[in-house]
Structure 1
Amino acid sequence: MTNFHFVQVAADRTRQLTIAATAWTAIAAGAVFLFFFNPSAPANQWFPKCPFLLLTGYQCPGCGSTRAFYQLLHLHPIAAFKFNPLMMLTLPFIVYGFLGFTRSAITGKPHRRVFIPPFYMWAWLIALVFFWIFRNTPWYPFSP
């Protein structure tokens, strides 16, 4: 039974390493691609459009994220924030979680999870809904 446990742990670690390596490869490829192709340029109108925007005419909470990432890759954080402030505020938490997962996959040590009280998750969800509503209003600074 002990041997089975070691095989199981090794398989889980290999799976985690594969997931982390695949994700980092995809992120790197996407970053290189996005670095050279500006999604806002008229010549690059072949970039995929937001399905929600195409169907309703309203922006979703993720609209502008591609342009924001382009600006981040070119070291323009203020311009990136103008394209999608919610993404910019959420990105550090996503990066922290992914770096922790990668560290855990490499070292085999469990990632120290940060407990986020349910109140904060509900507050973030409410902020997401308000952001979604207000970014589609004609008033400054929310107007597209």
Structure 2
Amino acid sequence: MVLKPRVALVLAITVGMVIAATALYQNPPGSSWITPPCMMHKYTGLHCPGCGSTRATYALLHGDVLGALKKNIIFVIALPFLLWWIARSTWRWIHNRPSPPDTQARLDFQKRLSWALVVIVMLFSVFRNLPWAPFNWLAPH
């Protein structure tokens, strides 16, 4: 049996992700070179929007959803949508199915959604660096 090149590539990436998840599962963030620190936080002391994502992933791999939410709530909330989008896009790509045609209403929605996500991430970045409650709860603990 010969695999199609697209299927082989998806399988290779999937195996790589499983290996990476296994390595993260066995090595808590900050304990080895596998999980380097955030350079923005290291040099500025500020938390970027991604700060805590590796620790949140580690917590999720260990079944600690509440702990993951404390590390990076926006990452944990976005993760199911991101995984769904990746799975859907990969399925379409493997089966050579084009995306639905872009109508003006669809393009307008995508543009508004993109801007809303940019604003949400920017506000999250600002709020998680404020030194008082409830905003400092957004910083990774």
Alignment of 1:142 onto 2:135: yes
Larger radius of gyration: 1
CA distance in 2, matches of 1:31, 1:112: 33
- In structure 2, the CA distance between the partners of 1:84 and 1:138, relative to structure 1 (3 Å rule), is same
CA distance in 1, matches of 2:133, 2:95: 48
Among 114, 118, 121, the alignment partner of 2:111 is 118
Partner of 1:117: helix, strand, or coil?
helix
- In structure 2, the CA distance between the partners of 1:101 and 1:141, relative to structure 1 (3 Å rule), is same
1:102-144 Cα shifts (integer Å, max 9, x gaps)? 323444444669x553212211110100000010111223323
Alignment of 1:102 onto 2:90: yes
**Contact 1:17 / 1:105 at 8 angstroms: preserved in 2?**
no
Partner of 1:75: helix, strand, or coil?
coil
* TM score, norm. by length of structure 2: 0.77
How many corresponding residue pairs? Answer: 128
CA distance in 2, matches of 1:119, 1:104: 24
Among 3, 10, 15, the alignment partner of 1:20 is 10
CA distance in 2, matches of 1:70, 1:20: 23
Structure 2, unaligned stretches of length 5 or more? none
RMSD: 2.4
Structure 1, unaligned stretches of length 5 or more? 1-12
**Pairing of 1:1-144 with structure 2 (within 5 A):** 14=5, 16-39=6-29, 44=31, 46=33, 47-110=35-98, 116-143=109-136, 144=139
**Contact 1:100 / 1:112 at 8 angstroms: preserved in 2?**
no
* TM score, norm. by length of structure 1: 0.76
Which moved further from structure 2: 81-90 or 59-68?
81-90
Q: 1:69: how far off?
A: 0.2
